[in-house]
Structure 1
Amino acid sequence: MQIRIILLVLLYLLFLPLPALGQQPPQISGETAVLMDAQTGVVLYGKEENKKMYPASTTKVLTALVALERARLTDMVTIGSDAAHAGGSAIWLAEGERLTLEELLYALLLNSANDAGVAIAQHIAGSVEKFAEISNDRARELGAKNTHFTNPHGMPDENHYTTAYDLALIGRKAMENKDFRKIVATVNHEIPRADPEAQRYLFNHNKLLWSSVYGYQGATGLKTGYTVEAGQCIVASAERDGRELIAVVLHAEGSNLWTDAIALLNYGFANFENQQILDSKKILTSLPVQYGKGKVNLAPAGDYFYTFSVGEKDKLDIKLEPAAEVNAPVAKGQVLGNVILSLDGKTIERMELIAAQDVEKDWFAWGKSVAYWSIPPFLILLWVRRKIRLRRARRKRALRRKRYYSDLME
């Protein structure tokens, strides 16, 4: 009997559904790597992600971003001698040749053409050196503090460096540009060339987009790179179920570049999810308004999403710090406090609380308050003044009587 009970219990336990277990962090062969959620900017994985590295042609992500922000795709670009002799990977642009900026960007991002990079730099800034300054300024604006570029293409230079984390920041911003997204997602493209013998057909070096072996479901693009000094490099992006991830691997060897990128993306999609924590349209609290016609509702100044790992959301703490006192009138959008988000004791976001509506001044309430606080002192003042006047009058009467009796005595 006891054996039968034990067997039944074991069978019951055997068929119980097991809890879902996330994947373990991947073992990345590349020297440095990072995985970032494109929507929230949260780092999901890092391997020496802040170590300064040679970026090779992943440099061209920033080159393209700066070009798209400062010029038009229809701009005609005349190829100068520096571009025609750029060296490295190229589509062999000829001095004096004219192409649109859009065509040069396709050459830059698909075929990784260094000559296209130089032509774009000179068109935007007049020189490679000036363009590098502009690019470095833009990188710092994006938070890429450990990036310094000396050229638009990534050819080796000891002063040309970045980090995996910085490249993820740059790639994240670049993918917000619809023209950039379209180009880096293109597998092949043809550009017009005046010389019938010139290279017209461009093919994307990013195997995640097209390879039967290394192709990745949901791949959306970005950029590869290679030099002897930099090794194999990639900034890769992919989208699934409305989430987009950006993976960066620097100084990998051979096919490890692709398996590293795939492992990072798989890890990110399997182990993390995005959830909206703050909604700018959702009222979090309300405050009384002194001398106002009603209370004022407070909402966060913007929307906020965060990327949580499995089971991590339970550790989230939301703390409101509304203003201690609010006086009418209140204008919609007026800052009236803060909301602080903490995860496992660490602050992850601090956002302003703003008024969700106007609150007009209640003049009747204001008048009552003024009357309440001003009339009693005014009455007291009148009473004191009357007392003073009466006292003066008595003194005058006493003085007159004194004079009257003095005159009689004389």
Structure 2
Amino acid sequence: MTGVRNLLLVLNEVPTPTLLTLLAAMPHLEKLEFKGHLSKEEGPTLIVPSLEELVVSNETILRYLQVPNALSIRISGAEIKGHSSISQLEAPSLRTLAINSSLASAVSADLSPHLTSLTWLDPAHGCAVAARSFDSLTRIFFDHISPRKECNDFCELILRYPASCRSLHTLEMRAYPEWDILLHMVQRRNLLPGLGVARLTTLKIPGYPAPLLLVPLTELLGGRSPQPMPPIGELCLGMVDAPYFDVNVPGCEDCIDSRMSCASRLDRHDKKKFDMLATEDGNSKVSERESPEQAKVTPLRGSDPPLPEELQTWFDGWSVRRTVWYAKWIDWNRHSGRKAACDRHDYRELVSITGDLLQGISFDSLVLYLLSREELY
């Protein structure tokens, strides 16, 4: 097997020395994908200079491998027992890292000084803040189901500390963040003079919002000041209270949140039907949206440079407003339920929004014309 360049192993309880002996016999191995678990048997450290891509189902194998020339590593799970194995990893050439967010505390610029792409594979555990020290990052991707809270947290981080992630220009997320914090984050990052940071140029989300939001967003991504910039009060989640909690207004959750009309029917149900939706432990079943507990945010303290007074006042109460809104949503959902998303929102295939182009079409031409046609909704 000395000529093997691409190896997929699916093994459980494989003896660690046996696996390392196998890998050592493959001097030309360029890609290793290991799914499974090692035995508790210890083994020596193995240097694999030929390996360029590593995909593992948990971090345990990193305790024994040194991959000095690896360009891409993906760790889909974690087995943390005391000190994380990833902190022992030496991969100075690493450019792309996809990682379970429970390993966020072990990720640092010292680990991979030239990292350009960081993907979080699951939510929580402080992953939004972990990337702050990486000046080399050009792309961050929140790649898991409903990462709305983490996206909001990251937007707040950049809003308060716009010089963080100095090289970042692309932000991808399988969620819609809150529009007020997103637009004001991009505005502060791209238009605040004297920062010496890369401009955020590309945003990837599950679908285009209405022109009310899309137009200022494309302007900001292009480094231009929107004329006019929508007031903060028109961007916040609370602005959708009236249509969202009105049984006479049809529409899916994402369309209402994105300020679009939608023909999706409203599901009106009684208490008996709601009880049937309860989980086995008797708690109300919450859909893809956040629960009040998930919606809680611990606000960052301070900003550098200081926030304008209007923004400071607004975001000081942001976490409380979100918690109140989601509490209202869950209470309302006891009697009525909206479809989470219609076919205009695809959480697998994200759309790209840039300062000048939307999927190759000038944003101020055909796309906006089509989006503004009410009969399409």
User: TM-score, with normalisation over the residues of structure 1?
Assistant: 0.24
**Higher percent of residues as strand:** 1
Structure with the greater alpha carbon radius of gyration: 1
Give the TM-score normalised by structure 2.
0.25
Higher relative contact order (CA 8 A, sep 6+): 1
